[in-house]
Structure 1
Amino acid sequence: MTAWQLLFFCQTLLIATGRFKQHRRLGYFGAALALAVVAAGVQAVLKQPAFYAELGEAPPFPMEILVVGNIFGFGLFGTLVAAAIALRRDTASHRRLMYWACIVTMGPALTPGRSLGAFIVPYFPATFPPEITLGWISWIALLIHDWRTARFFHPSTIVGGMLILFVAPAMLDWLLQIRSVSTWVQSLATG
């Protein structure tokens, strides 16, 4: 995931300095990297229940949330990147979709199970944790940018924010209510 965030930073610098040809060339690597991130991430997530069972420790979240939430996050990341690639000729949509994909990758770093998250979580109310705050700040910042630069809100800004802040959490909550999902996650702990 760190490689993706570094690539995102490099790609942003290439565009900011007008090196569009290098940006496009590096984009091919980015597409392959995004695919690798999703594949490796899902594989690692599927091994977590067995890992915690072997350690005899409880995970930082209920196992269902850890597994299903992370798989859902990787799926959302992959979908946003794929949409950005498909819309690469529409610069405004491409930029915003890549922005949202990057925001999705940062959320897990702010959860209590990570060093940064463990440090900052005490300063946030339980009903508004840092990863949710990041989503809201990101959406508000992009809405302000859209309004200041174009006097309208770009559809990718609206859809991305709604997807990350409303649709994805609702779908995740719904998935976690399905008993067979819970049973499947628990079966991963036994191999």
Structure 2
Amino acid sequence: MDAAASTVPVPIRGNGFYLGMSVAIAATVIGGFGSFALRGLVDVPRLPYWVHVHGAVFVSWTLLFVTQNALAHRGSIALHRRLGWVAVGLAAAMVPLGVLTASMAVVLDRVPSFFTPPIFLALSALELVAFVTLLTSAIRLRRRTEWHRRLMLCAMISIIGPAFGRILPMSLLGPWGGLAVMSGQMLFVAVAVAHDLVAHGRVHPAYGIGAAVILVEGLAVPILAATPLFVGLAAALAG
């Protein structure tokens, strides 16, 4: 996706890959959450309204992610540019909605059974930080297409952990669940890196940044969750 679009034409060559990646990611997101509901693991009508709003905004972002890549692939740069700022607005809404949804999950004792409240809060916080970091970098580099589209792809990958959490048998994975989710995310990064090697003979440095951020996002969760700040925050919300 090239959400906050470039002011110069985006080369058509290579955009088909990003469109394909966006479709694969959207399928992962919709398939993960959809299968969770179809298996009866969540009572959709009884979900709090803010969860529905959070889900609607996230699905809208995901579909716009695909749309932006499709527009770039077709060369419809003017529309791509205008919709880019719509994507920025959705992203701005996703952050407070993510904070609210994670916090209220602890308050209402709706944290998934395979997470402790501190782990859940730390995971949610790091996911949002990773997303904002990569998205902000992509927007700042929107006139440098090769950086922009790769950072946007990594930003999207950074927030699909919850989808993998609904696809993978988390209750069976135990303490390895977090690593399994991160591995799913890194698989998308690995595909992108492989594409760079095949298509260009080298890996663009944007993927190094994206991979580093996603790795920190995953590996730092237990460390952050064990800090007095997150232990105390989880206890205060649950109490």
- Pick the TM interval, shorter chain: 0.7 to 0.9
Aligned counterparts of 1:131 and 1:121: Cα–Cα separation in 2: 13
Q: CA deviation at 1:26?
A: 0.1
**1:185 equivalent in alignment to 2:234:** yes
Q: Contact 2:150 / 2:206 at 8 angstroms: preserved in 1?
A: yes
How far did residue 27 of structure 1 move? 0.3
2:128 to 74, 84, 90: 74
Name the TM-score, length of structure 1 as normaliser. 0.85
Measured in 2, the distance between the counterparts of 1:176 and 1:63 equals 9
Query: Aligned in 2, Cα 1:19/1:99: closer, same or farther, shift over 3 Å?
Result: same
CA change 1:142–1:58 in 2 (3 A) is closer
> Matches of residues 18-57 of structure 1 in structure 2 within 5 Å?
18-52=75-109
Check whether the contact 1:80–1:101 (CA below 8 A) recurs between aligned residues: yes
Equivalent residue for 1:108? 162
Q: Is the 8 A contact 1:48 1:67 kept in 2?
A: no
Q: CA deviation at 1:59?
A: 3.7
CA distance in 2: counterparts of 1:108 and 1:23, whole angstroms: 28
Displacement of 1:41: 0.9
Structure 1 residue 122, shift from structure 2 partner: 6.0
What is the match of residue 12 of structure 1? Answer: 69
Counterparts of 1:160 and 1:147, CA distance in 2: 16
The offset of 1:129, in angstroms, is 5.3
Structure 2 unaligned spans of 5+: 1-57
1:104-154 CA deviation, whole Å, 9 max, x = no partner?
22211111xx3x344x8869x947854223222112111111111221111
| Equivalent-residue separation in structure 1 for 2:171 and 2:113 (angstroms) | 17
**Letter of the 1:42 counterpart:** V
CA contact (8 A) 1:121 1:129 kept: no
Question: How far apart, in 2, do the equivalents of 1:58 and 1:39 lie?
Answer: 20
Contact 2:155 2:210 in 1 (8 A): no
Distance 1:176 1:13, change over 3 A: same
* SS in structure 1 of the partner of residue 139 of structure 2: helix
Superposition CA RMSD, Å: 2.5
TM-score normalized by the length of structure 2: 0.69
**What's the counterpart of residue 171 of structure 1?**
220
1:51–1:189 CA contact under 8 A, matched in 2: yes
Higher relative contact order (CA 8 A, sep 6+): 2
Partners in 2 of 1:127 and 1:60 — Cα distance? 8
Q: Deviations over 1:42-99 (max 9, x none)?
A: 11111111111xx7x8744111111121122112112211111111011111111111
How many pairs are equivalent?
182
On the 8 A contact 1:93/1:156 being kept in 2, the answer is yes
**Percent sequence identity over matched residues?**
29
1:135-186: CA deviations, max 9, x gaps?
A: 2211211111111122111111111112212x22343332122123201111
Unaligned runs of 5+ residues in structure 1 are: none
Q: In structure 2, how many angstroms separate the alpha carbons of the residues matched to 1:186 and 1:80?
A: 31
Alignment-mate amino acid for residue 21 of structure 1: A
Could you tell me how far apart the structure 1 residues matched to 2:183 and 2:106 are?
28
Residues 133/35 of structure 1: CA separation in 2 closer, same or farther (3 Å cut):
same
